Amino acid sequence: MKNTLIHTLKKATLALSVATALTAQALSATELTVYTAVESDDLQKYAQRFNQAHPDISVRWVRDSTGVMTARLLAEKENPRADVIWGLAATSLLMLDAEDMLHPYAPVGVENLDPKFVDQNTPPAWVGMDAWVAAICYNTIEGEKQGVPMPTSWEDLTRPEYQGHVIMPNPSSSGTGYLDVASWIQLFGEEKAWEYMDGLHNNISRYTHSGSAPCNLAASGEAVVGVSFAFRAARLKSQGAPIEIVFPSEGLGWDMEAAAIVKGTQNLEAAQTLMDWIVSREANEMYNEGYAVVAMPGVAKPIENYPLDIVERMIDNDFSFAAVNRDRILQEWQRRYDGKTEAR
Amino acid sequence: MHSLQQSSVAALVSSAANPIENRKKSADICLKIEALCKEFGDFTALKSIDLEIHEGEFVCFLGPSGCGKTTLLRAIAGLEMQTRGKVFQKSKDISNLPPQKRDFGIVFQSYALFPNLTLEDNIAYGLKNQGLCKSAIRTRVQELLTLIGLEGSERKYPAQLSGGQQQRVALARALATEPGLLLLDEPLSALDARVRLHLRQQIKQLQQTLGVTTVMVTHDQEEALTMADRIVVMNHGVIEQIGTPEEIYRQPVNAFVAGFVGTMNLIPIEVESSASVLLGKESLPCLPHELNKGDQASLAIRPEEIELFDVMPNEAALEARVTHTEYLGAFLRVTCDLLLLNQEITVDLQHIDAERMIVAQGREVFLKLPQRYCRVFAEQVH
Amino acid sequence: MSVSLSALKVPALRYRFSSETLLKLLFLLAALALMLIGLALPLYTMLLKSLQNGAGDFIGLANYRHYFSTPALANSIFNSFYIAILTMVLVVSLAFMCAYGITRTCMPGKRFFRVLTLLPILAPSLLPAISLVYIFGNQGYLKELLGGASIYGPIGIVIGMCFWIFPHALMILVTALSNSDARLYEAAKAMKTSAFRTFMTVTLPGVRYGLMSCSFVVFTLAITDFGVPKVIGGQYNLLATDIYKQVVGQQNFQMGAVVSVILLLPAVFTFIADRWVQRRQTSQLSARAVPYQPEPSRVRDWTFALLCYAVAGFILLIIGTAVYASLIQFWPYNLSFTLQHYRFDGLGGNGWESWFNSLKMAGGVALIGTLVIFTNAWLVEKSKEFPVLRQSVHLFSILPMAVPGMVLGLAYIFFFNHPSNPLNFLYGTLAILILNTLIHFYTVCHLTSMTALKQLDPEFESVGASLKVPFWRTYTRVTLPVSLPAVLDISVYLFVNAMTTVSAVVFLYGPDTRLASVSVLHLDEAGYFASAAAMAVLILLTSMAVKVMHAGVTFLLLRKAQSWRQR
């Protein structure tokens, strides 16, 4: 206990001196404001790895959930404050591109990426990084205790025994939440999908602001079933949380994390340098530390807690459908399910 | 208590009267006020005040609370800005100057000593700003402390002093910069009776020694009569009378001054001629006045000016019945009803006179109102 | 602006402008400008925004029509009132009983209890909500007490609010109950009045204004609070959380503005009612009243003692749980102790940065705020010139209390983020956070300053002027030193509130200026509950440290000033 304390204190002091060093460095370096929805655990790692290659460019992160980040970028359209977007849902980037907010650029080495992970236009407006896949977190201990069986499919979640035990993210604010909704619509067809969500809504105990919260809540036993995404689920499981990761049988919704330069940036050169690194092999290897599917073919190694056949189980996602209909779908969703109270 | 004070006023006035007569009246004008008005919203605190104060003079503003005396003092200080009118100090127009640019020291009822500063720092407060060197300041502070009889207390804080001592420090602080004008705003009102009496003399003495022109505001007539060279009696924002204490006491110009300073019987009468009035149906000779025949007016006479007899005197006298007597040491205060018109009247009997007469409740007595004391005033309008 | 001009005109004609008068005028104009920029203009911009569509065209009340025709949104009005009234009833009755115990009985451990009840104020309102999850959540260790009901929703919100609003209510009621006149009780006793009747005819009427004022404060705090419902509200929508959802979750600024205006109304209403009550309350007690001294009574004393101890126990339970939660490896499956949550992994590396930001911000608010607020109050109270200008500064100083934090924060976005606003550069900086927090907590400090200044001799300034000492010297040499205890109170109040506030700043932090309290929110949002608890505990400890320092400094100051303070 005492040792840990000293250890932590040492670390804190270290962090402090690092912070001071970084600030000192920032004075001489170009600073890029980077908007992201990448999981916060990884942000520091991303910046550090990039700085190993390019110490002269410092990254100033602005992070929030996918929905919030997207809305913020749209709100700042007239007065953009970001230089680069690094790690935002491709669906969102498609929307931003439609608003003509991205600066097309073909990073050096972009040809090495799987063409599916690169914008079709030349030069591409955005490039993909990795796929981020829906998953269900199921708390085994609580499931047994409360007699809630492990689900195997999306359909299972509408069964009565799950009533009040399911938590999922709010698609308005969370990218994970939106990819779930978008994938159900693509899997079941629009009408069936809303029917499904009506049924699911009855079992939901609450909608959370962020996509990782449902899995966190399932891991700590606050909920039995949390609709979340594979990255968070795998990480929690390897941290020892009593959860089982369920990849529903109907297919997995997914979205691509992607990067782009924001039109109007004052630091175009540095932004391009960052983009070049973002598509590099080194970067892709880094993405693979958390994500099973990455943009550069041949890089991905299987990672713990992910099924080997994950690529086959991902649905054939129509990003443009998800992007074009985002507003409409979210409005419909809000109309139906926002304000859980009166539905009960 | 109150009546005791009031009646002793007569004695005070006669003793204070003489030195004033001797004072030179031709001194330079220190302060001149011209048509000064002050309005607070709809309320008029001062209505066109004109006043001249001479160099070295001690002037008291006397009046009931709300009469405007404090407002007038604050206007002189620049603490209150007049609505109209002008103020001149030594023929310099200071009407629009802020207090900092005027030349005065001021003492307040609340002392307003700075509680976190020692006596020395309090007294030196204004000196430090004059660019004096440290030793000069120290010397001056010592001088002042000696003057107010508090030598050796320079390290003390105000809270460690009695009220009277604090007020003396406030006085020293105000005098430290040798102002051309000293303003005292009810400086004695917060003190208890004995301290007040003592400090009254001290202030007067100090003022005479230093010869500083002083204006004091008070509602206490005794204070005004004993301390002032001239009294300015105010009421409802106007000056009722300006005069020496004796003039104010003996020759009030109207019913208000007559009633406010000392005790005065004010008896309703009807004017009969320029030198007589009708008290009920009885004709009574009085001091000459300018009222018209038939006017309703007041006859003003002080209790000690009335002659009382327990048997019918030879001359014409008014019949009255004693309703109440009050023993006040040096004299007896007799309250009686004038049988003629059922009017209450107060008479002061000297101790000696009281002893040789039988004046008791219910007894019939006879009153003589000497013509030379029978002042006639129009009824007060405000 | 017309106000200040007309205020200028009258004295300008009559005073020959001395440098001092000019300086005062500049200060007053600066104070007014601060209020315009920090309060009036942002609120005005927000009001306009609620009448515009997304593209910025004026559309009248269309947004409001849309709001009231959307049941999910309009329902929040009912919910907010329901929660606020329920909280009000609970907190006021509980606080009244405890305050009665403190002032009217001889219960043991009064001092200890009073110190303990200060603790909730020192923590962000997110802390009780996080603790409640650990206590009554699905894995809560006292979950059974709820009998199957869910803590996520009204129950949790009300309990959480009671926790952090209780101290505010207690302070008001202790003050109200302390202002008693023992002679009335002696008279009642002499007439052989029963205890109950004495209570109904003497005690209650004596504190009725205190009770009303207290109810208003509790109601306002409850209806505007954001931290508790955000964490534990589940799907139970309230006005304050709706603003956040509309603005942060969906970036629907117009609807955020509409909800803000709706939330502003009850707050303004209770504010006006409270001012009215306060005005009547003055001069209720004659200066000659003799304070009531309770006599021991075993049964009564111990009844109240037990009640107060129960309250204290609950406060300790909540705080203890937060501390415990921050030290547990993985609740509820791995209960070993660890300090790893204090590394704040969920914040992307440098989690302590937000704490340093908070320190900087709170320090800045305490330092700048105290100086600005006290100086402005002094100008209002102690100068003679420019009466209209001073009155308007005073009025503006009292208004912030009526503006909920969420509303003020959102108003700042509209005003400062407008591309054509020359103050645009402030957006996202520490400066805007300081300005916002300063204005948000302005009123209480202003009123405290005014009370302290009114206790000073009104003639200090006149004496200074007569001695030709410039006014700022009298201010720094006399007024400030004499008012130092009040000044310190204000600075600590500002520091603690700046440290704990979430509502306004949640809209205003920038990438480099995220605050500790906002981090608690984000950590909780992302599901890092232990780290959220750790950050909340860190804030609590910081506030406690500052409070202890304040107590120490005040003690030393008073001892040093003993020589001149005692009468």
3-state secondary structure B19-87: HHHHCCCCCCEEEEEEEEEEEECCEEEEEEEEEEEECCCEEEEECCCCCCHHHHHHHHHCCCCCCEEEE
Mean residue pLDDT across chain A? 87
Q: Tell me the Ramachandran region of residue B329: left when phi exceeds 0, alpha when psi lies from -120 to 50, beta otherwise.
A: left
Residue B351's φ and ψ, nearest 5 degrees, are -50, -45
**CATH domain C62-284 topology:** MetI-like fold (1.10.3720)
- Domain locations along chain A: 30-131+255-298, 132-254+317-338
pLDDT at A12 over 60: no
pLDDT band per the 50, 70, 90 thresholds, residue A341: very low
In Å, how far are B8, C98, C172 from C107, measured between CA atoms? Answer: 59, 10, 20
- What confidence tens digit (pLDDT) does each residue in A297-336 have? 999 888 888 888 888 899 999 988 999 998 899 989 988 8
Partner chains of C (3+ C-beta pairs under 8 Å): A, B
Q: What is the mean pLDDT of each run of 10 residues along chain C (567 residues)?
A: 43 58 93 96 95 88 90 88 97 96 93 94 95 93 90 95 96 89 88 91 88 94 94 91 85 89 93 85 61 89 95 97 95 92 75 92 97 96 90 94 93 88 88 97 95 91 91 93 92 96 90 90 89 96 96 87 59
Question: Is A205 close to C234, i.e. CB distance below 8 A?
Answer: yes
What confidence score (pLDDT) does residue B9 get?
53
Q: Which of C118, C119, C125, C250 is nearest to C524 (CA)?
A: C125
Q: Report, at the CATH architecture level, how domain A30-131+255-298 is classified.
A: 3-Layer(aba) Sandwich (3.40)
Contact between chains at C20 and B100 (C-beta distance less than 8 A): yes
Residue C408 token pair: 């003020």
Contact C52, C66 (CB under 8 A): no
Q: Do domains A30-131+255-298 and A132-254+317-338 have the same CATH topology?
A: yes
Cβ distance C527 to A241 less than 8 Å, yes or no, reads no
Burial grade of C548 (CB within 10 A; 0-12, 13-18, 19 or more):
exposed
pLDDT at res. C17:
64
Supply angle C-alpha B100, B104, B106, rounded to 5: 100
C292-306 CB burial, b ≥16 within 10 A, e <16: bebeeeeebbeebbe
- Residue B221, C-beta contacts closer than 8 angstroms, at least 6 positions apart: B6, B9, B62, B260, B261, B262
Q: How many CB atoms lie within 10 A of CB A240?
A: 12
What is the Cα–Cα distance from A181 to A186, expressed in whole angstroms? Answer: 9
Residues A208, C525: C-beta atoms closer than 8 Å? yes
Q: What is the pLDDT of residues C542-564, one digit of tens each?
A: 999 999 999 999 888 888 776 66
Q: Choose among B104, B112, B129: nearest Cβ to C457.
A: B112
Q: How far is CA B312 from CA B124, B141, B317, B365, in A?
A: 69, 68, 8, 8
Give the pLDDT confidence of A98-128 residue by residue, as tens digits: 999 999 999 999 999 999 899 999 899 999 9
At A255, give phi and psi (nearest 5°). Answer: -140, 165
Bond before C154 cis per omega within 30 degrees = no
The top-level CATH class assigned to A132-254+317-338 is alpha beta
* Amino acid, res. C342: Y
User: Tokens representing C188?
Assistant: 């009642």
**Nearest-by-CA chain C residue for B84:** C14
Task: Give the C-side interface with B, CB within 8 Å.
Answer: 11, 14-16, 18, 20-21, 384, 457-460, 462-470, 473, 477-478, 481-482, 561, 563-567
**Contact partners, residue C242, CB within 8 Å, separation at least 6:** C73, C76, C259
- DSSP secondary structure string for all residues of A10-24: HHHHHHHHHHHHHHH
Residue of A nearest to C509 (CA): A62
Any CB–CB contact under 8 A between C72 and chain A?
yes
Residue B116 is nearest to which of C459, C462, C481, comparing CB atoms?
A: C481
Give C394-453 pLDDT, tens digit per residue: 999 999 999 999 999 999 988 998 878 899 889 889 999 999 999 999 999 999 999 999
Q: Tell me how far apart the alpha carbons of residues B189 and C293 are, in angstroms, rounded to a whole number.
A: 34
Q: Which run of H or E residues covers position A73?
A: helix A66-75
In degrees and rounded to multiples of 5, residue C497 shows phi and psi of -65, -40
String of b and e for C68-102 (b: at least 16 CB within 10 Å)?
eeeebbebbbebbbebbebbbebbbebbbbbbbbb
Chains B & C: contacts with CB separation below 8 Å = 101
CB C409, CB C508: distance < 8 Å: yes
Tell me how long chain C is.
567
pLDDT for A237-267, tens place per residue? 998 899 999 999 999 999 999 999 999 999 9
Which chain A positions have a beta carbon within 8 Å of C342's beta carbon?
8
Whether B98 and C21 lie within 8 Å, measured CB to CB: yes
pLDDT given for residue C283 in this prediction: 52
Nearest C-alpha neighbor of B76 from the set B115, B105, B111 = B105
Are B173 and C477 a contacting pair at CB < 8 A? no
Q: In angstroms, what separates the C-alpha of C417 from chain A's closest C-alpha?
A: 9
Between the alpha carbon of residue C206 and those of residues A110, B175, C100, C211, C410, the distances in Å are 80, 49, 13, 10, 41
State the pTM of this model. 0.87
pLDDT at position C351: 78
Neighbour-count burial of C337, counting CB atoms closer than 10 A to its CB (0-12 exposed, 13-18 middle, 19+ buried): exposed
Token output for B277: 């009035």
Q: Which residue has the higher pLDDT, B356 or B19?
A: B356
So what's the pLDDT on residue A29? 73
Using the predicted structure, report yes or no on whether residue A26 has a pLDDT greater than 80: no
Helices (H), C70-203: 71-104, 110-116, 126-136, 154-178, 182-190, 195-198
Give the H or E element holding residue A87: strand A84-89
* Identity at C523, one-letter amino acid code: L
pLDDT at C331: 87
**Which of B110, B158, B160 is facing C459, going by the closest CB pair?**
B110
Best CA proximity match to B184, nearest among B89, B234, B110: B110
The band of A152, judged by pLDDT with boundaries at 50, 70 and 90, is very high
pLDDT band at B120 (very low <50, low <70, confident <90, very high): very high
Question: Once rounded to an integer, what is the mean pLDDT over residues B238-255?
Answer: 94
Strand partners, B58: B214
- Token code pair at residue C314: 């609950």
Q: Is the pLDDT of residue B274 over 80?
A: yes
Mutation pick from C76, C82, C235, C328 vs chain A, by most beta carbons of A within 10 Å, is C235
List Cβ neighbours of C203 (8 Å cut-off, separation of 6 or more).
C104, C177, C180
